[in-house]
Structure 1
Amino acid sequence: MFAPRIQRRMFSASTRNLSKVTVLGAAGGIGQPLSLLLKMNPRVTELALYDIRGGPGVAADISHVNTKSTVKGYNPTPTGLAQALKGSDIILIPAGVPRKPGMTRDDLFNTNASIVRDLAKAAAEAAPEANLLIIANPVNSTVPICAEVYKARGVYNPKRLFGVTTLDVVRASRFVSEIKGTDPKDEEITVVGGHSGVTIVPLFSQSKHPDLSANAELVNRVQFGGDEVVKAKDGAGSATLSMAMAGARMADSLLRASQGEKGVVEPTFVDSPLYKDQGIDFFSSRVELGPNGVEKILPVGEVDAHEQKLLEACFGDLKKNIEKGVAFVAANPPM
């Protein structure tokens, strides 16, 4: 009886539609807890798990969890990958190497860029209409990489590509609740920009606590919360459990929206019109989700002087990160 009670607290039940969710990198530090959370979601009816090592083993383990969805692990072959992807409604990519102390997300670029490029190619060929959720860092660059791969295959749909930045708002609400002595679920903090360092811009002026926008220590903690985890794990990994929770939340929101729920809004890094006039093609903001993915990209809204400075710092780094992803695919096209 344990699993169903946990399940009811995390997700509201509705299983009207069949939904196949695929995790690429399912045996990794994020992939395993993410897969477990997806198994506990009643909206997921079929869970496909793939990794270069250990996918079938993780699937066998998670398949024993007493919820209705079926689970299958796929062998690390081109055929196995294609089978895992075929018919998917949502594909999540947490695959890649984790950060270690002293590393930034950009330090991961060369390794993770190649991994994401190749997985995006497989997804574009086997399930081009699926919602593609990118967790692999650096998200500011890996999302543009996926866009370029899909464009090269002639199947790019900007409404179906998402960078998962949910962890930034999860952290912000938790950190605020620690300061104010409130329940995190009652703290709605808007975070915009990107998903790395100064590109992460919390907008406390739009929350119940506008005074916090002048709290430089808090702003820095939201921007560099991942470093806190990397340091605490002392070389043994990065933020995996909290990231898995954030990824599962984003997937659930997309499933809810695809099954007809109205007004589902999540922060996410998408192909956005908000700052294209400044050469920034992707931006994270609050996005209303629907059956076709992105339904509406909501404006950033009014910001105070502190936040305006944060946005200006964000724009410079974010533009470079996006350009880096685009340039990578141009120089290293998928085979």
Structure 2
Amino acid sequence: MFRSRNIFSNFSSVLRSFKYSNYVPKSAGRRHFRSFKCRKRIKVTIIGSGGRFGQTAALLLKQSPRVDILAMYDSSDINCGTALDLAHVDTKCRVMAYCGEDQFDDAMKGADIILLCAGAEEKAGESQDEFFHNNAAMGMKVVKSYAKNSPDAMLVVATQPTDVLMPMMSELLNQNTAHDRNDDVLWQVDKFNPRKVFGMTAHHVIKANTHVGEVACIDPSEIIVPVIGGNSTETIVPLLSQAKPCSCIELNEEERRNITYRIKHAEEWVRSLRKHKGSDFLSCALALVRFTISLIKGIHGEEAVIECAFVKTEKIPGLSFFALPLLFGPEGVQQVFDMPKMSEYEQRLFQEAYFELRKSILKGEGIVSTTKDTPLCPSFCRMVDEPPKAKC
């Protein structure tokens, strides 16, 4: 007769003799598993994922284990095919596609981080006013949906011109309530947190790291060069004197000037070599993704997460926005560091950037009425009535 009890008892003795602790570390127990399950799930929304900049950023984010949901929005229906193609990448990140104006709010809902990559590229012979006005419409559209659907999310503005667009968007959100020309409420924010809105300048940092590494014959990934100021050629201030590690980097005055020039004009060179048919979207996308990962680390409470970004600050008298090194935390900017020490040459660059940056900030803030519950100017009302396309 078949005796199942004896078989199970023998099998149990085999299990008891198997020393599980010899093969699995103690850290792989229940406590480790529970801490992983309690990690906050992160949803990242890319506005303008149909362009080259947005597509590259989406591909890099899809490969990150820190991103759980990647929402891709673009006004073009082609975005659905792009999202489906990206969904075939074998990582745990879930890809969601949103197309058309009627799905814009759905893409923003529930987002932890919103990346604004949409907007027109600067064309040859185009004035700065024309360039800004083309992209200001998209900024207005994002502000309206952000205030309504995801006011607690981190908002990263990667659309140019950041020096003007960031102050405009922050001032719009700071109004708490905005009306159109018909006195209808466009949006209403209970409490705006400026520590969650960033203008991206991280791409200047990686370019500075690269150029310094080439001259100093050091791996660029081991170098950190802080870049302060703004996001235009006139307002970028690379602090080569503060490059880390200091003991390995020795540059003479001529090398510092040449590297600074290459950093400030890097985008112009790329655009000219591409016959004005594209900008430096590859390096910018990588910088944006690294910056996003740093934000996620801050949300998860990791310590010593530092990046440079263009934010609202009172550190620089006379300027309400400035790019400085930041410490990230669960609520965005946890600390804005003081102005680093500068050499005489860097001080001259700062003085030149100061006046240009001040004009850009005043231009962005001046477009928006500073009085609460005051109707917006007709140009912004027209932007709401005629929303632009999000494709880059």
CA separation in 2, counterparts of 1:130 and 1:55? 23
Pairing partner for 2:214 from 178, 185, 190: 178
CA separation in 2, counterparts of 1:160 and 1:20? 15
Cα deviation, 1:192-212, whole Å, max 9, x if unaligned, reads 000101210011111234635
Contact 2:327 2:336 in 1 (8 A): yes
The answer to whether 1:146 aligns with 2:166 is no
CA separation in 1, counterparts of 2:344 and 2:136? 36
Cα deviation, 1:228-250, whole Å, max 9, x if unaligned, reads 11011112111111111011011
Contact 1:106 1:138 in 2 (8 A): no
Partner of 2:349: 310
Contact 1:192 1:200 in 2 (8 A): yes
Residues 1-335 of structure 1 mapped to structure 2, 5 A cutoff: 16-53=39-76, 54-78=78-102, 80-101=103-124, 108-152=131-175, 153-154=188-189, 155-207=191-243, 208=246, 209=249, 211=251, 215-275=256-316, 277-278=317-318, 280-330=319-369, 331=377, 332-333=379-380, 335=384
How many pairs are equivalent? 319
CA separation in 2, counterparts of 1:96 and 1:37? 20
Contact 2:137 2:380 in 1 (8 A): no
Shift of 1:148: 1.8
Three-state SS of the structure 1 residue aligned to 2:368 is helix
Give the structure-2-normalised TM-score. 0.78
Query: Closer, same or farther in 2 for the Cα pair 1:204/1:105, shift >3 Å?
Result: farther
Q: Which deviates more from structure 2 when the two are superposed, residues 107-116 or residues 173-182? A: 107-116
**Structure 1 residue ranges (4+ consecutive) displaced by more than 6 angstroms after TM superposition:** none
Cα deviation, 1:232-291, whole Å, max 9, x if unaligned, reads 11121111111110110110000011112101000000001111x22x100001000000
Contact 1:198 1:314 in 2 (8 A): yes
Q: Unaligned 5+ residue runs, structure 2?
A: 1-35, 176-187, 370-376, 385-392
CA separation in 2, counterparts of 1:46 and 1:242? 23
Cα deviation, 1:214-237, whole Å, max 9, x if unaligned, reads 532221111111101101111211
RCO higher in structure (CA 8 A, sep ≥6): 2
Contact 2:312 2:320 in 1 (8 A): yes
Give the share of equivalent positions with the same residue, in percent.
33
Contact 1:100 1:237 in 2 (8 A): no
**Structure showing greater Rg:** 2
RMSD: 1.8
Aligned partner letter, 1:65: V
CA separation in 1, counterparts of 2:81 and 2:361? 36
CA separation in 2, counterparts of 1:196 and 1:291? 29
Query: Closer, same or farther in 2 for the Cα pair 1:301/1:206, shift >3 Å?
Result: same
Contact 1:21 1:88 in 2 (8 A): yes
CA separation in 1, counterparts of 2:268 and 2:129? 13
Aligned partner letter, 2:332: G
Query: Closer, same or farther in 2 for the Cα pair 1:260/1:212, shift >3 Å?
Result: farther
Shift of 1:103: 5.6
CA separation in 1, counterparts of 2:98 and 2:253? 47
Q: Unaligned 5+ residue runs, structure 1?
A: 1-13
